[in-house]
Amino acid sequence: MSQTTARPAHLQHHFTDVHQQAESAKLGIWIFLLTEVLLFGGLFCFYAIYRSWNPDMFHNAHAFLNVWMGATNTVVLIVSSLTMALAIRSMQLGRRKHTIVFLAGTVLLACVFMVIKYFEYSHKIHLGQLPGKWYFFEGIAGTNPHIFFSAYFLMTGLHGFHVLGGIAVITWLIIKTARGSFSPEYYTPIEMTGLYWHLVDLIWIFLFPLFYLIG
């Protein structure tokens, strides 16, 4: 027990030691990720059901998504996940400068992702490939193609919001790291954000084939 030793500044009063505090934070973030999985789960369920009802329409509509933009975005997110993991590793080794560089790289890649998404969205909005009653595009065979774009915009949109959230949190981490708030002994916020960011990547790993590849 660490009660005899001095309590570090970041240790809250109701924990007995830093280990207990870090473990609690980690379990907490995993349960948060669980809620995220089920939040997206509702949309995956929605996708699965309408796809099973209209497989041909989904197939025809998916051809109107740009595979290369989607694939680029997949690569961008995977690399950003890698830089996030390396940022944590650097902090574990006490290399604060490297951490900042890797975190900044992650933010940069996330921004690239959003920019590509912006071009995709504006192209679709321009053509009228829009969700629900806003849909006015012609030329997709099959019943109710607007449902496909409802699914597309909802799922990638919710995912996009998570990317934006990630950008905000990671930027905050860069500032905190630069101010020296973290050390090899205490880097829980970076670790937790990392887990969140990997989940965002993980969800995209499924969104990409479901929309861009097989429809």
Partner 1 sequence: MKDDAAQRHILPLNLYLAVGSGLLVLTVITVAAAQMDFGQMNLLIAMGIAVVKATLVAMFFMHLKYDNRIYMLVFVGSLLFLGVFIIFTMFDTLRRGDIYEEISEPYLKEAVIYRTAETGTASSHAAADSSHTAAEAETETTDH
Partner 2 sequence: MEHTIPEKHYLNEATGWKSWLMTLDHKRIGILYMIMVMFSFFLGGVFALLLRWELISPDKILMGPEMYNQAFSLHGIIMIFLFIIPSIPAILGNFVMPLMIGAKDVAFPRLNLASWYIYVIGFCFAVYALFTGGIDTGWTFYTPYSSETTTAVIPILTAAFVLGFSSIFTGLNFIVTIHKLRAPGMTWFQLPLFVWAIYATALIQVLATPVLGITLALLMLERVVGIGIFDPAMGGDPVLFQHFFWFYSHPAVYIMILPGMGIISELIATFSHRRIFGYKFIAFSSLGIAFTGFLVWGHHMFVSGQSDFAAVIFSFLTFFVGIPSGIKILNWMATMYKGSISLDTPMLWALSFLILFSIGGFTGIILGTLSIDVHLHDTYFVVSHFHYVMVGGTVMAIFGGLHYWWPKIWGRMYNETLARIAVVLIFVGFNVTFFVQFIMGTQGMPRRYATYLPQFQGMHGFSSIGALIMGVGFLLIAIYLIHAIFKGKPSGPNPWKALTMEWETPSPPRAGNFEGAQRLTHGPYDYDKVVPENALKQYKTL
- Per CB under 8 A, contacts with partner 2 among 166-205 are none
81's contact among partner 2, partner 1, none, with CB below 5 to 8 A by partner kind, is partner 1
Whole-angstrom distance between the N-terminal and C-terminal Cα of the chain? 56
Distance set, CA 67 to CA 52, 82, 146 (Å): 22, 22, 19
Q: Which of 14/138 has CB closer to partner 1? A: 138
- The encoded tokens of residue 16 equal 């007995």
Q: Which of 67/115 has CB closer to partner 1? A: 67
24's contact among partner 2, partner 1, none, with CB below 5 to 8 A by partner kind, is partner 2
How many CB atoms neighbour CB 115 within 10 A?
12
Residue 151 burial (CB < 10 Å; 0-12/13-18/19+)? buried
| Residue type for position 89 | R
From candidates 13, 143, 179, 180, binder to partner 1 by CB under 8 A: 143
How many CB atoms neighbour CB 4 within 10 A?
5
Strand (E) or helix (H) holding 155: helix 145-178
Closest CB 13 distance from partner 2, rounded Å: 7
From candidates 44, 95, 114, 160, binder to partner 1 by CB under 8 A: 44
From candidates 2, 60, 66, 144, binder to partner 2 by CB under 8 A: 144
Residues that bind partner 2 (CB under 8 A): 3, 12-16, 20, 23-24, 27-28, 31-32, 34-36, 38-43, 45-46, 49-50, 131-134, 143-144, 146-147, 150, 154
